[in-house]
Amino acid sequence: MAELTMVEAINLALAEEMRRDERVVILGEDVGVDGGIFRVTKDLIEEFGEERVIDTPLAESGIMGVSVGMAMRGLRPVPEMQFSGFSYLGFHQIESHLSRMRWRTQGGRQVPVVVRMPYGAGVRALEHHSESREVFYTHMPGIKLVVPSGPRAARTLLVAAIRDPDPVVFFEPKALYRAFREEVSDEEDEPITIGKAMIRRDGTDLTLVAYGAMLPRAMEAAKTLADGGIEAEVIDLLTLSPLDHEAIAASVRRTGRCVVVHEAPLSYGPGAEIAARVMEGAFLKLQAPVMRVTGPDVNVPYFAREQLYLPDAERIADACRATMNY
């Protein structure tokens, strides 16, 4: 057992999978000699060589398109988009080919690519480095999207993603990269099943849904609420697509109330989808409308105001109290 940060846990998962399966290769900008600008791929080039940890030219569409080709020829590429904010140059390849190659060849070609990309605010970064645009990818049929909420989840989810026969977009909450350490087993952990949410805290009064960098804030809010006698059940989604709406609805059928937290903007965000699913799965048990605690419908402001933009424990707790008093 070692106490690892999320960066170290992802690095561990990559190394383990590359040892286990020769078909796993990494490619991207600065992923080799430099070990990635966040050091997620640190030292991998030493162990696996530059043929499997490939420093590419600076071109996201190139990285994605070449990954699609490599996967069609039997490799399991794990390309890195340096920031999700630059993945849009590769978006066309993801939407037009990665997400649908299996479908358009009627199963003749599979493209088991895991596209890793750091997302989200909270690290005082430049413009274009802080957005949380997961819905661009959750809205794409044929793509799975997962978001770990801590080092242990990151390690096991990445293993599951690499072993998955379908393309996975792996959203890394960069605010959590080094935020805290967790015990991560030296042995292989059971991979988390993609498509399954986890209950991180039991509660009977309301269901609090979060993921990624918002999970720790939701947990903090739950603690504050407990001091005031409100017991929140906290669900960590882990996978956004396909969404485990059964788990959410089952919880809401018990609690009768639901609050969703995400840092993506409010309108058309994951909260809207979750609210609709709660309507379908728990309508008659609902005692208050589903509440959303999210970023506003603006771009993430420059970093002086990014913490104002982000939902925090106080705002989350406030929404939960409002829901209780509805």
Contact call for residue 237 and another protein (CB under 8 A): no
End-to-end CA gap in the chain: 46
Q: How far is the CB of 75 from another protein (least distance, A)?
A: 4
Q: Which residue number, 32 or 65, has a Cβ lying nearer to another protein?
A: 65
**Which residues in the 251-310 window bind another protein by CB under 8 A?**
253, 276, 280-285
Q: How many CB atoms lie within 10 A of CB 42?
A: 17
Query: Which is it for strands 232-236 and 198-201: parallel, antiparallel or unpaired?
Result: antiparallel
| Measured CA angle at 305 (ends 135, 120), to 5 deg | 30
139 is catalytic: no
CA distance 87 to 107: 26
Annotated catalytic residue within 92, 128, 129, 139? 129
List 15, 16, 61, 226, residue binding another protein (CB under 8 A):
61
The one-letter amino acid at 309: Y
Q: How far is the CB of 43 from another protein (least distance, A)?
A: 20
Contact call for residue 18 and another protein (CB under 8 A): no
Contact call for residue 69 and another protein (CB under 8 A): yes
CA distance 83 to 236: 23
Q: Which residue number, 51 or 227, has a Cβ lying nearer to another protein?
A: 51
Q: How many CB atoms lie within 10 A of CB 254?
A: 15
Cβ-Cβ contacts under 8 Å for 200 (sequence gap 6 or more): 149, 215, 219, 234, 235, 236
Contact call for residue 229 and another protein (CB under 8 A): no
Binding site for another protein (CB under 8 A): 23, 25, 51-52, 56-57, 59, 61-62, 64-75, 77, 89, 92-93, 96-97, 102-110, 141-142, 144, 165-166, 195, 242-243, 245, 249, 253, 276, 280-285
Active centre residues (catalytic): 129
